[in-house]
A and B are shown apart, each in its own frame.
Chain A
Amino acid sequence: MGHEMLNAWLYIGLFTLVAAALPAIAIFLAGLLSPRKPNPIKDATYECGVETVGPAWTQLRVQYYLFALAFLIFDVESVLLFPWAVAYQQLPLFAIVEAIIFLAILVGGLFYAWRKGALNWQ
């Protein structure tokens, strides 16, 4: 740990700054250099050349929420398994069996959701 880890994070921080700066500079320069001759047709909102109908704030289907919730659960599972995987080579067989039980319980849940048809997109 210590400073080597922080140096690794420093690269990520620099990448984040550059990633934010590049589009910001591009948009700023475009605003600075482009000529402004607005007219109603130019300013109209369009999507792929078609005029928009209704507001952009549409109601999503409950299925999206269900998928996000299932993703959250397996996301937390992967977070709990990550330290176990890092320490894998220093662990006894007992610990491996424990992680397999951990996985088996959740696979049971996945199987339940599958059988209930929760993973089908209607």
Chain B
Amino acid sequence: MSALQWVFIIASLITVGAAVMMVASHRMMHAALWLAVALLGVAVIFVTLEASFFAVVQLLVYIGAILILIVFAIMLTQRSTEAGSRLNSLAWGAAGVAGVIWTALTYVFIRWVVSGTPMQELGASFDDVVLLGKALVDAEGFAVPFEVASVLLLAALIGAVYIAFERKGEGS
């Protein structure tokens, strides 16, 4: 096996291990920190698959912003900082549903036609970021989704400001 495959396998093992530790840890904050390790592992997997742009997005958005948001949310809610292993009464049902969905998705991916076709070698001049940039603003590409994404972000920003000020109005 090549060195790259070893890196891929080690990163995958760390990712899965961190994900298991995240689910198993009793403190919410520890779960969030294990989530950081899992997300970092996914970023390394993106790098080994030569998807550099996704690796950077993974670091910038998921670890840099969403994880910070999760940590702030945990520190905002007093009760969740207490240790405790209160299993939700629906936990086993949820685990069953998740298992069924995972099995179905794995089956679909294995039976998918694309998974059987061999990958094409990309040329040395191939630059995925430039292609993505062109496609994002191309009228025949993803120009409309690109603008709709802006509206979606606007809705998220206004919604966040509105909810925060509603809470302040209640005097808490």
Interface residues of A (CB under 8 A from B): 1-2, 5-6, 9, 13, 57-66, 68-73, 75-80, 82-88, 90-91, 94-95, 98-99, 101-103, 105-106, 108-110, 112-113, 116, 118
Residues of A within 8 A of B133 (CB): 82-88, 91
Chain A, residue nearest B154 (CB): A109
Q: By the criterion CB–CB under 8 Å, are B69 and A72 in contact?
A: yes
Q: By the criterion CB–CB under 8 Å, are B137 and A84 in contact?
A: yes
Interface residues of B (CB under 8 A from A): 4, 7, 29, 44, 47, 50, 52-53, 55, 57, 60-61, 64-66, 68-69, 72-73, 75-78, 81, 122, 124, 126-134, 136-139, 143, 146-147, 149-151, 153-154, 156-158, 160-161, 164-165, 167-168
Q: By the criterion CB–CB under 8 Å, are A72 and B65 in contact?
A: yes
Q: A2-B50, A84-B136, A102-B147 are in contact. Are A77 and B153 (CB under 8 A)?
A: yes
Tell me if B's interface is mostly helix, strand, loop or mixed. helix
Q: A64-B72, A95-B137 are in contact. Are A80 and B149 (CB under 8 A)?
A: yes
Q: By the criterion CB–CB under 8 Å, are A62 and B136 in contact?
A: no
Residues of A within 8 A of B129 (CB): 82-83, 86-87
Minimum C-beta distance from B135 to chain A (A)? 8
Q: A6-B50, A73-B153, A84-B136 are in contact. Are A68 and B122 (CB under 8 A)?
A: no
Q: A65-B72, A69-B160, A112-B157 are in contact. Are A102 and B146 (CB under 8 A)?
A: yes
Chain A, residue nearest B80 (CB): A57
8 A-B Cβ contacts within 8 A? A62-B164, A70-B160, A73-B153, A73-B156, A75-B60, A83-B136, A91-B133, A118-B164
Q: By the criterion CB–CB under 8 Å, are A59 and B78 in contact?
A: yes
Q: By the criterion CB–CB under 8 Å, are A75 and B64 in contact?
A: yes
Residues of A within 8 A of B124 (CB): 1-2
Minimum C-beta distance from B2 to chain A (A)? 11
Minimum C-beta distance from B101 to chain A (A)? 27
Q: By the criterion CB–CB under 8 Å, are B61 and A98 in contact?
A: no
Chain B, residue nearest A66 (CB): B164
Residues of A within 8 A of B149 (CB): 76, 80, 102
Q: By the criterion CB–CB under 8 Å, are B138 and A95 in contact?
A: yes
Q: A99-B137, A118-B165 are in contact. Are A1 and B60 (CB under 8 A)?
A: no
Residues of B within 8 A of A70 (CB): 157, 160
Determine which of B50, B69, B138, B151 lies in contact with A65 in the assembled complex, contact meaning CB atoms within 8 Å.
Answer: B69
Residues of A within 8 A of B47 (CB): 6, 9
Q: By the criterion CB–CB under 8 Å, are A83 and B69 in contact?
A: no
